[in-house]
Every structure is written in C-alpha cells, then in structure tokens.
Amino acid sequence: MKKLLTLAAGIVLASSMAHAAGQHAGGHDNSDGHHEEMAVGEPGEAGKVSRNVDVVMRETDDGEMIFEPNSLEVRQDETIRFRVRNKGELEHEFVLDDHDGVMEHKAVMERMPEMEHDDPNSVRLDPGKRGEVIWKFTNSGTFEFACLIPGHYDSGMKGDLTVEAKN
C-alpha cells in the first residue's frame, strides 16, 4: 500500500511539474489525434501548397516589433506555405488565428511565458532561424497573425489576414 501511495504521489507531482512548465503540445487535436478545423482554417498538406508567402519577424531601431509584411490576403481554400524568418535579436513566433483565439492565446502566454507549444498554426523561432507553417484557409473572413510572447503583440507584432471568399 505504501508503494502504491508513493507511486501515485510521484505521478501527481510529475503531472503538476509538467503543467507548471507550460507544456502545450498539439492543442488543436481532437480525441483521435487529428487536427480539428479552426475558424482560420486547418493544417495544410505540403503537396497541396498553392503558393509560398515569405514573412520576416524583427525589431526596429525604435523598439517596435514587426512582421514584414504586416497584412496578407489569401483566397478561401488556398493552401499557403508561410516561410517565416526571424531577422530579429529576440525570439519571436508566428501564430494564425481569429481575433478571439489570438487574445485567448495571448492571455495564456502572459500567465505562462515559458509555455512551449507545437500547434500547426504557429512556429516559434530563435534569432536567425527559419521555419514554416502550411495552412489551408477553409473559411473566408478577417483573421490575424501575431507574436504572442509577452509584450511582443503590444509592441506592434501583429498583422491582418484577409481570406477572400471563393467565387
């Protein structure tokens, strides 16, 4: 019985430590391991990419944090490969979502700044690194891309994303 209680206490402790460290892998998976569709769309397939879009993340000399470009237009049902490059001196991330999703993620990041996540709608990059997000835009509307590392969004690191309805 004592061994069983010790084992249970160890599991609880390990679980709480993982939660405190901010692990958040695959947060948009459903119960069968497949990614669920978000308002902004769903993970795309590399073989179905319609076009590549280059995005640079960096800081300016006056302290702003920016994306270049800071607005994007895509078409509904288009699959885009975002080729993201961090040309800044700080770590940055590129996250696609609707405004409510961005604000919710931003609030979580402010509570747990060291949170690590592996969501298909985002990439987090150290200075000088490159990464990509492949995304299929299944819904038309107005969305956002943002860096949600605490303080970055408020320093200007956000952009507008318009998905035009298919004809």
Report yes or no: 67 and 55 within 8 Å, Cβ to Cβ.
Answer: yes
Find the mean pLDDT for residues 35-55. Answer: 92
Question: How many angstroms separate the most distant Cα atoms in the chain?
Answer: 68
Tell me the CATH number at 108. Answer: 2.60.40.420
Whether the bond into 69 is cis, omega within 30 of 0: yes
pLDDT at 115: 78
Average pLDDT over residues 2-26: 35
Contact (CB, 8 A) for 82 and 119:
no
In this model, does residue 86 exceed pLDDT 70? yes
Write down the pLDDT at residue 117.
Answer: 74
DSSP state of 21: T
Mean of pLDDT values over 149-159: 96
Q: Identify the CA nearest to 122 among candidates 40, 46, 48, 64.
A: 40
pLDDT of residue 64: 96
Domain count, the chain: 1
For residue 91, the enclosing domain spans: 2-164
Residue 19 backbone dihedrals phi, psi, to 5 degrees? -65, -40
Asked whether residue 30 carries a pLDDT value surpassing 60, the answer given is no
| Alpha carbons 135 and 161: distance in angstroms, whole number | 13
